[in-house]
Structure 1
Amino acid sequence: MTARPLVAAPAPKDPAPLRNEKYRRAVASLPCAHCGIAGYSQHAHENDGKAKGQKLDDRRAMPLCSVRPGIEGCHVAFDQYRLVPGGRAAHIELGRAMAAQTRQLLNTMGLWPARIPQLPPTRPHD
């Protein structure tokens, strides 16, 4: 009897991150998830799992305020890990929580764009 060589099955690929302008605009229409100011928000991705030059799925984002005269804005501070004390772990946890809250808010307010699937829950706070 001849032993068959073991062949590893290819690992399943993660689906490509969703990119959708309507979703990004819906997120940016909300007040800043950190400071609450309205009218200056931008769609800001979480930073957990993000590689240099690579954005995450658009659904893993929250509205954060932009730079304006005399004010740095929460988006810049978030991207530079300075928005909250407690180091990287606190920052990652805050990003996850704000993104989950944003998804919930878009659904509650009826702003979730048609034909955009919900993000499957795979992490805490989803």
Structure 2
Amino acid sequence: MKLSGFKSRTWAPAPKTVHQPLASAPNYASAAGTAVPVAKGEFLRHEDYRRAVASLPCCACGIVGYGQAAHANHGKGAGLKTDDRTCFALCCDRPGVKGCHPKFDQYELYPKAAAALVAEAWGADTRRKIEMKGQWPADLPKWPADQNTLND
């Protein structure tokens, strides 16, 4: 068998560079007062409420039996979930069908701005449905916005 015409290359380390000390101290911009820290919200977690939400039909397609408690994608940071009282029912993936929950999270159902509005409306409707069915957990405080509208 003939060898190819390419020569093998040998490895050689890069030449060392000599670093010189800086002539003067670097002048960095001051960050004092430019960034305002944002306090984390106190988001409630309540498993019984999430289970009640998951028992409802999907808010997007209406299918029963595949519900998950979906949280809104706005008003939170990366890796955080919003308050459980703002969640709503969306269906999960099932064989051969992509569910509404992943579609909603990936903005396939609605664009980002519309998804925020829809999530707020679905959350309010879900809270109303759970309260009307008598499934609101006794140890879970009502959503503040709902309390204001009930007193008017």
Q: TM-score range by the shorter chain?
A: 0.7 to 0.9
Gaps of at least 5 residues in structure 1 are 1-12
Whether 1:21 and 2:47 are equivalent positions in the alignment is yes
Question: Hey, what does 2:127 align to over in structure 1?
Answer: 103
Equivalent in 95, 102, 107 of residue 76 of structure 1: 102
Between structure 1 and structure 2, the one with the greater Rg is 2
Instruction: Write the distance in 2 (CA, Å) between the matches of 1:15 and 1:102.
Output: 22
2:93 counterpart letter in structure 1: V
The count of aligned residue pairs is 109
Extract unaligned runs of 5+ from structure 2: 1-38
AA of the residue aligned to 1:66 = C
Q: What is the CA-CA distance between 1:92 and the residue it aligns to?
A: 0.7
- Equivalent residue runs for 1:35-114 within 5 Å: 35-84=61-110, 87-114=111-138
Any runs of at least 4 consecutive aligned residues in structure 1 with deviations exceeding 3 A, and if so which?
none
* TM-score of the aligned structures, taking structure 2 as reference length: 0.68
The CA distance in 2 between the partners of 1:55 and 1:91, in whole Å, is 16
RMSD (CA atoms): 1.8
TM-score (norm 1): 0.81
Secondary structure in structure 1 of the residue aligned to 2:69: strand
| Paired position in structure 2 for 1:121 | 145
